[in-house]
Amino acid sequence: MRLRQLMETAHMSENELSRRSGVPQPTIHRILMGTSKSPRIGNLEKLAKSLSTTTSYLAHGVSISSYSSHGAVAASVGFMPSALGFMSSTFEAINSTRQKLKHSTYHYPILDWPDLGWHSIKSSSFFKNTINNPNTNYEPSSYKTIGTGFWLSLNGDAMSSPAGVTPSLPAGTKILFDTGVTSTPGKLVLALLLDVTEPVFRKFIKDGGQSHLQALNPSYPLIPLKEDSLIFAVAIEAKTSL
């Protein structure tokens, strides 16, 4: 078991891990014994931090080292390894194309929302066609991504703040995303939900120990983040055309 292996490598007992992480020792023991089938994400996050690993590795056995700096790095909210693996190879192909452009600024592909939906992930042909399409457009930026960068143009008004409140991101705004930036509360993130066909762009928040996605437009409801949700990119830059 991954947790036990990490504890043995770190020469850490259940009591010591409990002291460092704040997770009760009985809870750690149940996870080790396999009697806790679905550990809380909050507890996994604490254990992962104390063991210098990722929540995704503890939960699914996929580590950040499995992906190069050109691949996809998911947030520790929970994800499907098969889906992330495909996204990683896809993003590597996109990044490879981008790396061929040797300019003083960096150029990232402009993707469409369906490019990043669950249904597209299940069928690699759509992604491959998009990457190999000579008509794919690129947008420049002075920002050098940590992981893979790509742009999306916003639809709708979910990220439009009330008058006088910043940031406000109306429809048509182009957002640069980086898959290599760690998502922390307060960041604007791109997430996939199991029952939604396209990614959702929202603010990542935690309230009372629960993770949610919050629109900047207060008329939209909070979206709870479940274990089968995937945060896979963080917003870095916004461009609005006049």
Convert the pLDDT of each residue in 200-216 to its tens digit: 999 999 988 889 999 99
What local confidence, expressed as pLDDT, does residue 78 receive?
36
Give the model's pLDDT for residue 136: 80
pLDDT at 82: 37
Contact 176, 236 (CB under 8 A): yes
Can you list the residues of the chain whose pLDDT is less than 70? 1, 37, 56, 60-104, 118-133, 241-242
Q: Of 227, 229, 240, nearest to 41 (Cα)?
A: 227
pLDDT at 104: 56
* Predicted pLDDT at 227: 80
State how far the Cα of 57 lies from the Cα of 78, in Å rounded to an integer: 10
pLDDT at 161: 93
What distance in Å separates the CA atoms of residue 120 and residue 96, rounded to the nearest whole number?
20
This prediction's pTM: 0.58
How far is the C-alpha of 154 from the C-alpha of 172, rounded, in Å?
5
Whether 229 contacts 78, CB under 8 Å: yes
* Residue pLDDT, tens place only, 111-129: 888 878 766 655 555 545 6
Among candidate residues 191, 190, 199, the one with its CA nearest the CA of residue 226: 191
d(CA 53, CA 43): 13
pLDDT of residue 81: 37
Q: Which helix (H) or strand (E) holds 50?
A: helix 41-50
